């Protein structure tokens, strides 16, 4: 299996590119008029979760948990068919 340096060789540039996209996305939201909605707040919270994953979670699990609906019972009826990527409660 590859060692750390080989993994960095394989993935650093790709991760760097995506990091810049995240930074640019935040700048873009900051720069434009209007109100942020719950998705952006969930995004920022997920970034924090990535930096500080709880015990037993990897960083990606922390992000996914942060963006998930944690309610436990079926809802009475669907009001939409799609999903938005972040739970209102996240």
Partner 1 sequence: MKYIEPHGHMVSRTTDDYLNMAMAGCEAICEPAFWAGYDRASVQGFYDYFRQLTEYEPARAAKFGIPHFCWLCINPKEAEDAGFAREVLSIIPDFINQPTVLGIGEIGLNKNTKSELAIFEEHVEIAKKYDQPILIHTPHLEDKLKGTKLIIDALKNAQVDRSRVVIDHVEEHTAGLVLDEGFWAGMTLYPESKCSPARAIDILEQFGNEQIWMNSACDWGISDPLAVVKCALEMKKRAYLPRQIEKVIYENPKTFLSQCPNFILPTD
Catalog residues that contact partner 1 under the rule CB under 8 A.
1-2, 6, 10-11, 14, 58, 60-61, 64-65, 67-72, 74-87, 90
CB nearer to partner 1: pick between 6 and 22: 6
Q: Is the dihedral of CA 39, 45, 48, 50 positive or negative?
A: negative
Residue number, 24 or 68, with CB nearest to partner 1: 68
Contacts 24+ apart (CB under 8 A), 43-50: 43/86, 45/90, 46/86, 46/90, 47/22
State in angstroms the smallest separation of the CB of 89 from partner 1: 9
Let me know how long the chain is.
90
CB 20 → partner 1: shortest distance, Å?
17
């Amino acid at each position: 299996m590859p060692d750390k340096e080989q993994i960095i060789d394989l993935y650093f540039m790709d991760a760097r590119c995506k990091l810049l996209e995240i930074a640019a996305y935040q700048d873009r939201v900051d720069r434009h008029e209007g109100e942020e909605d719950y998705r952006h707040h969930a995004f920022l919270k997920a970034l924090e979760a990535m930096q500080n994953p709880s015990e037993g979670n990897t960083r990606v699990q922390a992000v996914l948990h942060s963006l998930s609906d944690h309610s436990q019972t079926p809802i009475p009826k669907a009001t939409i068919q799609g999903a938005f990527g972040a739970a209102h409660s996240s």
